Structure 1
Amino acid sequence: MSNRSDESSTPYQLDRLQEVPAFHRDARRDGRLSEGQLVYYGPQPSYYGIGEVKRINGSDIAVDFRGTGLFDVHEEIIEQRYLIGIPPEKMAEL
């Protein structure tokens, strides 16, 4: 993990993404993610940044975050309930 001193190094304006706790109904409403879809870690968008779904194995999702967040994570396996899909129209705001 690298030492990032601030959020300005991320290419996205992650503060525009809503924080959604894992058990909140907004986190469970969609539930269907697909390979290639852009997602973020709902509880705290700035931690992981924005990533692309690479593989799906049941409720475990492999996401390529490309180091876009504060944790500088490149690929992580996260339970689906923690991931929020990003609508294409929202990407223009980021």
Structure 2
Amino acid sequence: MWTQLGFYTHYFGDYFFTQFPLYYFWPLSEQGFLYSGAVPLWHPSNKVFQWISVAALMFFAVKNKRTPIEIISEKWDKKVIASF
């Protein structure tokens, strides 16, 4: 379920918030789809999404006492969490 949610939200974001054609049916078709009202990556709305993502990552890292650093070193992860 979470994988599908992640896939479809990414699909939605790429379609409406980038100005790159998307090739949904590749390799069966090389026709690209591009929404005429799509905004460029440097548009303020995309910056808002970026900052919300960073804030959400920080929130869940502190709430769950885990960070992506845990993949590299559990000791470093504990030091990062302790700093908050």
- Higher relative CO (CA 8 A, sep ≥ 6), structure 1 or 2? 1
Greater Rg by CA = 2
Greater helix proportion: 2
The TM-score, its normalising length taken from structure 2, stands at: 0.20
Report the structure, 1 or 2, having the larger strand content. Answer: 1
